[in-house]
Amino acid sequence: MSTPATPSDRKIEQVDTVTIRFVGDSGDGMQLTGTEFTKASALAGNDLATFPDYPAEIRAPAGSLFGVSGYQLNFSSRDIHTPGDAPDVLVAMNPAAFKTNLADLKVGGMLIVNTGAFNAQNLEKAGYKSNPLDDAALKQNYKVFAVDISALTEAALQGSGLSAKEIARCKNYFALGLMFWLYNRDAEHEIGNINKKFAKKPPIAAANVAVFKAGYNFGETSELFHASYEVPAAKLAPGVYRNMTGNYATALGFAAVARQTGRQVFLGSYPITPATEILQEMSNLKEDGVVTFQAEDEIAGIGSAIGAAFGGALACTSTSGPGLALKSEMIGLACITELPLVIVNVQRGGPSTGMPTKTEQADLLFSLYGRHGECPVPVLAAQSPADCFYSAMEAMKIAVKWMTPVILLTDGYLANGSEPFRIPDPSELPKVKVSYQTAANGEAGEFLPYKRDAKLVRPWAVPGTAGLEHRVGGLEKDSLSGMVSYDGANHEKMVRTRAQKVANVVEDVPDVKVSGPEKGKVLLLSWGGTYGSVRTTAEALQAEGKSVAHAHLRWLNPLPKNLGAVLRSYEKVVIPEVNAGQLAFYVRASFPGVDPVQFNRINGKPIKTFELAAAVRELL
Amino acid sequence: METTTNGQNGAPALPLYTKKDFESGVDPRWCPGCGDFSIINQVQKLLPTVGVPREKIVFISGIGCSSRFPYYMNNYGMHTLHGRAPSFASGLKVSRPDLMVWVITGDGDALAIGGNHFIHAMRRNMDIKLVMFNNRIYGLTKGQVSPTSELGKKTKTTPYGSPDYPFNPPALALGAGATFVARTVDVEGAHMGGVLKAAAEHKGSTYVEVYQNCPVFNDGAYTYMTEKAVRADSILRMEQGKPLLFGKDGKKGIRFNPQTVHLEVVTVGENGITEKDILVHDATHEDPTIAFMLANLTGKPGFPTPIGVFRDVRQPTCDELTWQQIAEVKEKKGEPTLEKLLASGETWTVK
Ligand SMILES: Cc1ncc(C[n+]2csc(CCOP(=O)(O)OP(=O)(O)O)c2C)c(N)n1
Ligand code: SF4
């Protein structure tokens, strides 16, 4: 490319962690810009975590406050667990994006704005009476880089023959090029990516490459920036890595089960934000033994999965809050028939449609208890985007081993966020063992579908197996034959047996591990997607010499055997959650005498570590 | 693995089944005189003749009196949730296309709470055989109005008469895209046997409506057409390739009037009408229009009620298409390995 051949005379400063947020109109291509920059950071060997934050509206009116789409990326030479609390660098493509995000930018942070979008019309749409860039205070608080990205993009594409609209769509590549220069990223590699991505539309590919280069060269040649930066590679465990979102990781986990076992994995599902990609991704893995079925609604989604499970498939269904509500009668059926099934619930802001594109952890109690009748099911929660892979495999392993529906909780933040995933050797993976009953098990040579083994697990006999024909269903069944039974004593026995079986799953639940002092003042107890924030907070407080430990719950039902003892080893237990206190409630009920201090945020965002750290310091 | 998940391929020669092989040994708990008995009787008589091993036949039902059916059959079976049987059946059939999957349902089950699943199962042309016991009442919950109850019907929840218009189920099934649509009556054993046999042979979404008497909550719902005295004039027996004639002397017939674009009842030998004027029944028409017109004769004053097969069209089924696609993708992408799957996409190496 036509970047100056001689290295820039400007200095390159080393920094260890940077958080960048790209914000613009939903049509501005901020998600693409973010993911491309993420890939480049990964290739540079940084540890990273991302947090896309997009509006619920698909095509919000241009320039509107509610149409702002953002992508935050934290990249580092250290081991990091979150996409960063507050950006060090904010790239704002228009006044609306500027207005809705400026408050998050760290004081002293770098603000790059597209001044070309700060015209009368856009200012008015964002509710500005005057141009906020003229405010003197702005320059005092931040390092402001005012760049007319719109005009520079137009200039780069003069004579390209593209329409004004097409040209306007290229400007995210200017911003990307500029950031590539600023952080010394591999521009050649990105040009290759652009050409690949737009291979079917060569004029667009050429335009984006031109604009990308213009952005890069602008950084180099304009005197605006006194330095560029470099974030050295992190010391990640050796191996081959790929970047994955939580939803992709979930899909890959299920597909891995199909490959590992040589059995069919069946997904019955219905699109719902933010779970949809699981269905989409799995639909694309047909060669791997995955069968997907897009049903007419969430009820039919899980129904089809239960039907497939009856047929011997490793069945799962994916959904989000409102869909989980619809599935609750079906989960009861899976529980009473004792068929293996994984229900993935990607939690989002609720109740009802709530905030579909924003994250929340408010379905914990619903997952544990949200069914009629006595209906316990194992519940586990993934802790990071890449961990969704292992969680999906583990959930399936438990479902099949124990013949039970299992709820796997992820959330909008994990689903869309991404992080590097070290590709494991197949031997490192959780082993899913599938075995079907092939012979009669009764004394008189009959088949007893509800005759259990020592762990209380019933046999799985699938259609096609001669001699084991039997019926399952939602009516209470005799404890051996599975025939309908209205006998009260039998019902009580069955209710208790099903509960005991789920309690027995504890043998597969590892003890909770504590990082930090084994006894002390404060234990931070997290679950699910807040792992990263809480871990980072604990590490920061430990670095200050504070007596703070961290424990994370992967299994919510059954709870780890040692949890009570761990909780009682600290003066205070603090439970940070993105809900109104559901784990805290559950812990109080499960461990009498333990009264956790709650730290709750219900703002649709991951917990900010500095807020949590401040709250914990007050307790010390 | 491939099409089956249990590794059972190449079934041995079929045993010679008898009706008894399909009885579970649990005595049906339907009320004495319930039409459901005659239906299960016909199904159990049919199954030894369908050429499918017993262990590959699955009955799936929803909730209702009718839906107790699987418990009385000696096959694999699932008694599921109210209205949802088609969803289980669809999942099972896509997952295991080697199985013969039946759905047993009632009018409330299939058309009220399960209406959505019903129409989608039909439109997808999933190879499932859905038999709906239509007693025009809710039996299990003891006598409330159903989506097939007549306008003005007095039931426990409509003490002053129902203000609801009913569904015409075969028309609904046709509209939804079912490739096999038929109707039969509980008291016509031989007819039912024939219809069920045709249903068993069809590949694709199969809807069979059985007019079923509920002597407890809706007794005599079909006597207007099944009574000996009126039967000949009030039932139109549709037979493939035969003219649509009915009546005591077989002289009445259905004619398509091109001027009015309607079906009309005519009498052979009157007004110059000959047998040539009578519509010849052809259920294999790709276009369901005539089948729909026939279905709409149901309950129309002056017309007989059609029974038999309205439509029987072979189209690629959803399960066939699904597995064809899987085969094509495998062909194109090659047998993958776990290693390849894990390392797909853009990767980088950390040393
Ligand atoms: C979710 C749910 N809602 C309501 C019921 C109660 N219920 C059971 S069967 C039934 C109606 C059955 O009528 P139909 O489908 O016509 O079958 P029939 O009993 O007449 O054979 C109802 C309302 C239920 N079991 N589940
Ligand atoms: S209530 Fe009616 S439909 Fe139900 S079993 Fe009795 S007679 Fe049959």
Q: Any alpha helices (H) in A338-411, and if so which ranges?
A: 364-369, 387-402
B110: DSSP letter:
I
Q: Is the CB of B65 under 6 A from ligand 2?
A: yes
CA-based angle A229:A230:A236, to the nearest 5? Answer: 150
Task: Give phi and psi for A84, each to the nearest 5.
Answer: 90, 140
pLDDT for position A27: 82
pLDDT for position A125: 95
Cα-to-centroid distance, A363 and ligand 1 (Å): 30
pLDDT for position B2: 31
Taking the C-alpha atoms of residue A48 and residue A35, their distance in angstroms, rounded to an integer, is 12
pLDDT for position B345: 83
Which of A225-229, A594-598, B342-346 is most confident?
A: A594-598
Find the mean pLDDT for residues A205-229.
94
A433: tokens are 């063992």
B200: tokens are 């068993």
Cα–Cα nearest to A308, from A277, A282, A329, A339 = A339
Question: Could you say which ligand is closest to the alpha carbon of residue B115?
Answer: 1
CA A311 vs. chain centroid, Å, equals 31
CA-based angle A213:A215:A218, to the nearest 5? Answer: 105
B106 Cα nearest atom in ligand 1: 15
Q: Is A264 in Cβ contact with B88 (below 8 Å)?
A: no
Residue A6 pLDDT exceeds 70: no
Cα–Cα nearest to A419, from A81, A44, A31 = A81
pLDDT for position B121: 98
Cα–Cα nearest to A141, from A173, A180, A116, A108 = A108
Taking the C-alpha atoms of residue A551 and residue A401, their distance in angstroms, rounded to an integer, is 27
pLDDT for position A71: 96
Classified as helix, coil or strand, A147 is strand
Q: Is A241 in Cβ contact with B350 (below 8 Å)?
A: yes
Cα-to-centroid distance, B110 and ligand 1 (Å): 10
Chain A CB contacts of B76 under 8 Å are 310, 463, 469-471
**A253 to chain B: closest CA residue:** B342
Find the mean pLDDT for residues A409-429.
96
**B345 to chain A: closest CA residue:** A242
Find the mean pLDDT for residues A590-603.
97
Q: Are A116 and A28 in contact (CB under 8 A)?
A: no
The two beta strands, A89-92 and A314-319, are unpaired
Q: Are A320 and A357 in contact (CB under 8 A)?
A: no
Cα-to-centroid distance, B89 and ligand 1 (Å): 18
pLDDT for position A1: 47
Reported as a pLDDT band with limits 50, 70 and 90, residue A343 is very high
Q: Is A259 in Cβ contact with B338 (below 8 Å)?
A: yes
Find the mean pLDDT for residues A398-423.
97
Reported as a pLDDT band with limits 50, 70 and 90, residue A53 is confident
Residue A4 pLDDT exceeds 50: no
Of B1, B80, B329, the CB nearest to A286: B329
CA B192 vs. chain centroid, Å, equals 12
Q: What is the pTM of this model?
A: 0.95
Closest Cα in chain B, distance from residue A255 (Å): 8
pLDDT for position A58: 76
Of B55, B95, B117, the CB nearest to A308: B95
pLDDT tens for chain B, residues 1 to 351: 233 333 345 555 788 999 999 999 999 999 999 999 999 999 999 999 999 999 999 999 999 999 999 999 999 999 999 999 999 999 999 999 999 999 999 999 999 999 999 999 999 999 999 999 999 999 999 999 999 999 999 999 999 999 999 999 999 999 999 999 999 999 999 999 999 999 999 999 999 999 999 999 999 999 999 999 999 999 999 999 999 999 999 999 999 999 999 999 999 999 999 999 999 999 999 999 999 999 999 999 999 999 999 999 999 999 999 999 999 999 999 878 899 999 988 899 988
B204: tokens are 């694709």
Residue A571 pLDDT exceeds 70: yes
pLDDT for position A57: 78
pLDDT for position B237: 98
pLDDT for position A61: 86
B231: tokens are 């039967």
Q: Are B199 and B179 in contact (CB under 8 A)?
A: no
Q: Are A424 and A393 in contact (CB under 8 A)?
A: no
Residues with a CB atom less than 6 Å from ligand 1: B 63-66, 82, 106-109, 133, 135, 137-141, 146
Residue A2 pLDDT exceeds 60: no
**A230 to A179, A180, A235, B349: CA distances (angstroms):** 11, 10, 15, 19
**B121 to chain A: closest CA residue:** A296
Average pLDDT over chain A reads: 95
Amino acid at B165: Y
Candidates B58, B76, B82, B333, partner chain A, best to mutate (most A CBs within 10 A) = B76
Question: Could you say which ligand is closest to the alpha carbon of residue B106?
Answer: 1
Ligand 2 mutation target, pool B29, B36, B40, B142, most atoms within 8 A of CB: B36
Give the number of residues written for chain A: 620
pLDDT for position B10: 52
Reported as a pLDDT band with limits 50, 70 and 90, residue A100 is very high
Find the mean pLDDT for residues A246-273.
97
Q: Are A345 and A363 in contact (CB under 8 A)?
A: yes
Residue linked to tokens 């667990």: A81
Cα-to-centroid distance, A299 and ligand 2 (Å): 28
> What percent of chain A is predicted at pLDDT more than 90?
94
Rg (Cα) of chain A, in Å, rounded? 27
Of A252, A307, A311, the CB nearest to B5: A311
Taking the C-alpha atoms of residue A508 and residue B253, their distance in angstroms, rounded to an integer, is 72
